[in-house]
Amino acid sequence: MKKFAVFGNPIAQSLSPTIHQMFAKSCAEDISYEKIEAPLDGFEATIDNFFASPQAVGCNVTVPFKERACAMAKHKDDAVVMARAANTLMRNEDGELCAFNTDGIGLVADLTNNGLNLQGNKVLLLGAGGAARGVVHPLLNAGIENLHILNRTIEKAQAIAEDANNPKVTAVNHKQLLADYDVVINSTSASLSGTLPTVPDAVLANCQLAYDMVYSKDNGATVFMAHAEQLGAAKQLDGLGMLVEQAAAAFYIWTGKQPTTASVIEYLRNR
């Protein structure tokens, strides 16, 4: 049986085992997928121990270990290099650790699933942490016209724009904001504490989609979604679809099989 796991601290809340077991069933794969709480001072040893098993194929990594997963890996895909963080690990045939970041692919897939054609879109990204870094290239690859990054600490947005090294990516302050973004994406961790990043009401009122990268545990609206709806944003979405799509991209990396995601998203929405 192929062995998989997700590592985090805490990890009890993780939906990854449910998601991957549903993928495995639909792809006729027989897998085990555990959630493992790694100690804060022993993440690397826990990963080494996992991969010491000959059945171990791959794992996911979540908060607060994504940066350490990146640091451990011998090979990193472009998204990991940009994000400086990895959410997916596997060993290659030489036993070397390879790191991937599928968060951005997951975001773009979820936006597409929801009928958005990103081609030519103006996108405002709120926040400039690891979560923001991970979605820059996939959004650019999806053909957006520009990506403006607004962050409480502007230097961090400027650093992302510099690293992206693409004229379409700009760090902006409040005065430089456009009036007509198609999509506004909240990548800040503000939602996790029930607070809102500062963004002018008109920006949210005029957008086609206000997207919160976190998902709400009770399937209700996050504070950001509720705020955008109240202001008149045409549509609001949380990050549940992104969670399932980033998992699907990891499953494909590990198995070469592309699982169907719509039924999994629907199941989690109605759980």
Q: Return residues touching ligand ATR (CB under 6 A).
A: 127-132, 151-153, 156, 187-190, 195, 197
User: Smallest distance from the beta carbon of 130 to ligand ATR, in angstroms?
Assistant: 3
How far is residue 261's CA from residue 23's CA, in Å, rounded to a whole number?
8
Q: Which is nearer to ligand ATR, 21 or 189 (CB)?
A: 189
Q: What are phi and psi of 203, to 5 degrees?
A: -65, -45
Q: What are phi and psi of 253, to 5 degrees?
A: -60, -45
How far is residue 266's CA from residue 123's CA, in Å, rounded to a whole number?
27
Q: Which residue has the tokens 């506004």?
A: 184
Q: Which is nearer to ligand ATR, 70 or 131 (CB)?
A: 131
How far is residue 254's CA from residue 257's CA, in Å, rounded to a whole number?
8
Residue 41's nearest CA partner among 64, 60, 22 is: 64
Q: Which is nearer to ligand ATR, 35 or 66 (CB)?
A: 66
User: Smallest distance from the beta carbon of 211 to ligand ATR, in angstroms?
Assistant: 15
Residue 66 falls in the annotated catalytic set: yes
Q: Is 154 annotated as a binding residue?
A: yes
Catalytic residue among 3, 25, 66, 257: 66
CB contact at 8 A, 184 and 164: no
User: Smallest distance from the beta carbon of 160 to ligand ATR, in angstroms?
Assistant: 10
The binding site for shikimate consists of 14-16, 62, 87, 103, 215, 246
The binding site consists of 14-16, 62, 78, 87, 103, 127-131, 151-156, 213, 215, 239, 246
